[in-house]
Amino acid sequence: MADSKQKATRARRKAPARRQPAAASRPIPAAGRRGKVMVTGAAGALAKQVMDRLRGDYDVVGVDFRGLHAMHPESVDYEVDFNKRTFEDVFREHQFDAILHLGRIQSSQLNAGRRFSANVVGTERLFRFARKYGVEQVMVLSTYHVYGAEPNNPSLIDEDFPLQAANLHRELVDAVELENLANIYLYKHPELHMTVLRPCNVAGPGVSNAISRLLGQSVAPCLSGFSPLMQFIHVEDLADAVVAALKGNRPGVYNVAPDDYVAYQDALELAGCRRLFLPSLPPVLPRTLAGLLGRFSFPAYLTDFFKYAVVLDGSRFARTFDFVPARDFDELFTFYRGNR
């Protein structure tokens, strides 16, 4: 009987939002009212960490549009496609003060057209509804991949460096266009207090991106003659960074990365992986081999990131939000060594 009641509650909670007439203007908040925050990508590990940190101070509503690899379905209040009419119903039902847009379809998921529709067209609707319903703060989680990987990159990349990924890696076009869209809203609509975060490699418990999968394998590939410097941030540190940026509310674009870095092959050894060397020449060969190895290798479109360093200058974020990662490399790589 209890199980049936629990399933019924879950079904109601995840049903499409009810339609209500849009308010002509945003009501004045009652004295002492807790802020309300929408968190997208709510089924992911990072969003779960962020939502757990916010619940003491905010009412949190979890939204997920991906329907893929749901690690924490219990965190999702609404499963809704941002490009469907029912998405606006979520805004009608809730008076959001802030939106944390943490959900993005990765380049290894879906085809390019559907990915662009979800990541760019869907995000534009999110921003448009944020303006329409008086949301006062919007944060977008991007990725360091937007800088692109190529041999002439500077040794330390700050936020003013051009986003080259669309020219170098066609699979990252949607990631760059999402950022371009966020930057347009940042400058044209200052009332949204737009913040864009570009984190380095995110790893740790529950993370299912490419680098985390590699570190979690007993054998991981690397390219002969290449071992680029890489930065890693623990998923819990990134959650702390997201919360700090929300509470600090300083619009702009920020790299999020520790001062430390490590060579990729050393990272594999620290995580307890045996290295599988792949030939790096001719250039088409490592991409072909990565494609053949599938999920046991790095995605073919990221091959250059395993050849050339993309090291971020995270000092602007550290200064602005007084942020220092609490977890070092030893703690991060120990997690992977202990979970073989």
The pair of structure tokens assigned to 333 is: 């790589």
209: nearest Cα among 71, 93, 315? 71
Who's near 295: CB < 8 A, 6+ residues apart?
213
Between residues 224 and 117, the one the model is more confident about: 224
Q: What percent of the chain has pLDDT over 70?
A: 86
Integer CA distances (angstroms), 138 to 28, 39, 50, 191, 278, in order: 20, 10, 15, 10, 42
The Cα 193–Cα 138 span in angstroms is 6
At residue 208's C-alpha, the angle toward residues 166 and 98, to 5°, is 70
| Contact yes or no for 78/14 (Cβ under 8 A) | yes
The Cα 242–Cα 257 span in angstroms is 12
Q: Per-residue DSSP letters for 51-98? A: HHHHTTTEEEEEEE---SS-S-GGG-SEE--TTSTTHHHHHHH---SE
Model confidence band, residue 33 (pLDDT cutoffs 50, 70, 90): low
Average confidence score pLDDT of the chain = 87
For residues 129-143, one letter each, b for 16 or more C-beta atoms within 10 angstroms of the residue's C-beta and e for the rest, the string is bbeebbbebbbbbbb
Strands (DSSP E) along the chain, which ranges? 35-40, 58-64, 78-79, 98-101, 137-141, 194-199, 201-203, 219-223, 229-230, 232-234, 252-256, 262-263, 274-278
At residue 326's C-alpha, the angle toward residues 323 and 331, to 5°, is 150
Q: Say which residue the tokens 């619940």 belong to.
A: 55
Q: What is the DSSP letter of 283?
A: T
pLDDT single digits (tens) 285-304: 877 887 777 777 888 889 99
The Cα 296–Cα 221 span in angstroms is 8
For helices 122-132 and 173-188, give the axis angle rounded to 10 degrees.
20
Q: How confident is the model at residue 111, as a pLDDT?
A: 61
SS3 326: coil
Q: How confident is the model at residue 106, as a pLDDT?
A: 62
Residue 80 has pLDDT above 60, yes or no: yes
Residue 46 has pLDDT above 90, yes or no: yes
pLDDT single digits (tens) 124-183: 999 999 999 999 999 999 999 999 999 999 999 999 999 999 888 888 999 999 999 999
pLDDT single digits (tens) 172-219: 999 999 999 999 999 999 999 999 999 999 999 999 899 999 999 999
Handedness of CA 289, 295, 297, 298 (dihedral sign): positive
pLDDT single digits (tens) 303-312: 999 999 999 9
Strands (DSSP E) along 110-243, which ranges? 137-141, 194-199, 201-203, 219-223, 229-230, 232-234
pLDDT single digits (tens) 240-282: 999 999 999 999 999 999 999 999 999 999 999 999 999 888 8
Q: How confident is the model at residue 234, as a pLDDT?
A: 98
Residue 229 has pLDDT above 80, yes or no: yes
Residue 90 has pLDDT above 80, yes or no: yes
